[in-house]
Structure 1
Amino acid sequence: MTTSISPNPTGTARAVQLESFGGPEMLRLNTVPVPVPAADQILVRVTAAGLNPMDWVMTADAETATRFGLGLPCGFGTDYAGTVAQIGERVTHFAVGDRVFGGAMSRAVADYVLVDQSGTIAAGGDAHHTPDGLDDSTAAVLTIAGCTASAALATVNPGPRDTLLVGGAGGGVGVFAVQLACLAGARVIGTGSASSADALRALGAEPVAYGRGLVERVRALAPDGVTAAMDLFGTDTAYAARELGVPDTRITTIAAQIDGITPANGAGAAPGAIEQIAGLVASGQLRIPIAASFGVEHIRDAVELQSARHVNGKIVIDLATS
């Protein structure tokens, strides 16, 4: 037995899928049956989905997809926001009509997504109640980047006495990490391109250009030293931090592994971390810039823009009006 919004969400819906793994050119907007929730599942009418680098990295080739447990045909996208359209008979945490957001790995860019009421992003999907004051477009970009930033910050634990060096500070995770570190009282120096300097300042970071000479530029900005570092892009910032005297215990990475340095992963975020972040956004203490919004029919254009990694902020797929 299920409980539904009236009229019942039956028939067909749209879903972005891949029938072969590869780049954005492999993405298709297909017509699929509306799924039916099992006893412990909710059916979410998705209004917005957020893009992350992991979305296209996971589906770029068959070998990588297999490591993530993905098979064909495969959906696309993980972050979503929307409204509960139908619930299974054993669901107690959610009701039809509730606004929710969360993650459903490689399934989110679709009109409807099934989510376990007590699942995880990778296994069954997860859902959280969307707080008042938080619109769906912003809620749809919180989960992956927010959890990853929270886990990275917990690894290096910056505070008022710290100067934190953040590599890739203007990216999707950096937007969260910089502001959360500032809220914790740390001084933040963020690497980026020359064109991203103003955007980094708006987040609360002191911008510094990445690339050759990074160590010297950081020393000039922080002559008293850097005490912690997060590399949110690769390894250059982590190695620079070592050269600046930061101990390995206060360095973390999210996209690469270095012997002796503890990597961070969104799956390791503390319980309640994403709800706390959503509350900060809803109250105006955390600002998440939306770099661009695309209708679902333009999913390839959106992924090409996101994969170029030159945007400051997040990219949203609009499923409510397209």
Structure 2
Amino acid sequence: MRAAAFTSFGGPEVMKAMEVPDPHAGPGQVRVRVKTAGVQHYDCAIRSGWTPSYGVTVKLPQIPGNEFAGVIDEVGDGVTGFSAGDEVLGFAMLNCYAEYVVAGTDQIVAKPRTMTWEVAGGLTGNGQGAYIALKAIGVAPGDTVLINGAAGSLGSIAVQLAKEWGAKTVIGTASENNHDFVRSLGAVPVTYEEGLAERIRNIAPDGIDCAFDTAGGEGLYAAVELVENRERICTFYAYDLVEELGLRVVRGERSAARLAELAELHTQGKLHIHIREVFPLERAADAHRAIESRHGRGKIVLKVD
């Protein structure tokens, strides 16, 4: 099968299109012919040589990618509830930048008929990440919430979930050219630059209840300054500052049930996924360059089939 993979660690240039052996579904698994695969910073970190401390073994040549959408074409023994020909979206830790991916039935859900393949391929990673982060900081009705990096795929989903869960005010940091987009999601936009904490105070004179950081920098420092309880601050970016700033590390397992909830919110028109750019599989290196440039708006996706 065709895949985008790397045979050595490094920058985006190590990503190459290549032929690799086809995988096959084992007991309790399905094989999916991939239509689209989302691109995340997690994938870039793996490519650069980082190995998570939980549940991942990187073996060269390695196919990155941890979210996908496609059509089931092979069903393993013991599988119930899914059949060949079903359209699904799902997640895996690696191996999604390929024509085929194998996943357990606890990693996939049915693709809503009205959901595009581009959205389906890019929903699960950032969608579940935002959900886990906001639950960890306890976003509740009436809260004033700060989302640092609100125009990116992770931040934009977090803004929408915070509003859906009853936040009174959501303030989103973003580059000035992304302010209209952030405003369209229901947040009050504010630019990154010196004096950010004071500008946020002017918007929310009664204070900030909790904050989710996806971009580091001034936004994270402003969150630490403005949020009284540091248990209600979460970063998915500046892990190197967690100990220094007295924050906790937030992790959570992705689940099919949570993914189904996010897909239903999208179907109801309550969760919009902005597709920033779609690259063919053979241009995975360019997709990595684009996501690593930061300050982009929305989701980057690979078109596989």
What TM-score comes out, normalization by structure 1 length? 0.87
Match of residue 49, structure 1, among 37, 55, 59? 37
User: Where does the alignment leave 5 or more consecutive residues of structure 2 unmatched?
Assistant: none
SS of corresponding position for 2:60? coil
1:166 paired to 2:147: yes
For residue 97 of structure 2, the aligned residue among 98, 101, 109 is 109
What does residue 6 of structure 2 align with?
18
1:1-322 to 2 correspondences below 5 Å: 13-61=1-49, 64-65=50-51, 67=53, 68-118=56-106, 126-186=107-167, 187-234=169-216, 236-257=218-239, 258-259=242-243, 260-265=246-251, 267-268=252-253, 272-320=257-305
Q: Take 1:178 and 1:298, find their aligned partners in 2: how far apart are those partners?
A: 30
Q: Which amino acid aligns with 1:282?
A: T
Higher relative contact order, chain-length normalized (CA < 8 Å, sep 6+): 2
- Unpaired segments ≥5 residues, structure 1: 1-12, 119-125
CA distance in 2, matches of 1:117, 1:269: 13
Task: Work out the percentage of aligned pairs sharing the same amino acid.
Answer: 37
Q: 1:121 — aligned with what?
A: none
CA offset at residue 270 of structure 1? 7.0
Distance 1:160 1:40 in 2: 40
The count of residues paired between Structure 1 and Structure 2 equals: 298
TM-score, normalised on structure 2? Answer: 0.92
Structure 1 letter corresponding to 2:102 = L
Which amino acid in 2 is paired with 1:158? V
Distance, in Å, in 2 between the alignment partners of 1:283 and 1:172 is: 19
Kindly indicate whether the alpha-carbon contact (under 8 Å) linking 1:133 and 1:283 is maintained by their aligned counterparts in 2: no
Amino acid at match of 1:87: V
Q: CA deviation at 1:242?
A: 2.9
CA deviation profile, 1:196-216 (whole Å, cap 9, x unmatched): 111111111111111321111
Q: CA deviation at 1:261?
A: 2.4
The CA deviation string for residues 32-67 of structure 1, in whole angstroms up to 9 with x for no partner, is 232222222211000001101110112202xx2375
Per-residue CA distance 1:59-99 (angstroms, 9 max, x = gap): 202xx237542121100211100010011122113111111
CA shift in 2, pair 1:216/1:58, >3 Å: same
User: Aligned pair in 2 of structure 1 residues 173, 184: CA closer, same or farther (>3 Å)?
Assistant: same
Q: CA RMSD in A?
A: 1.8
**8 Å Cα contact 1:280-1:286 kept in structure 2:** yes
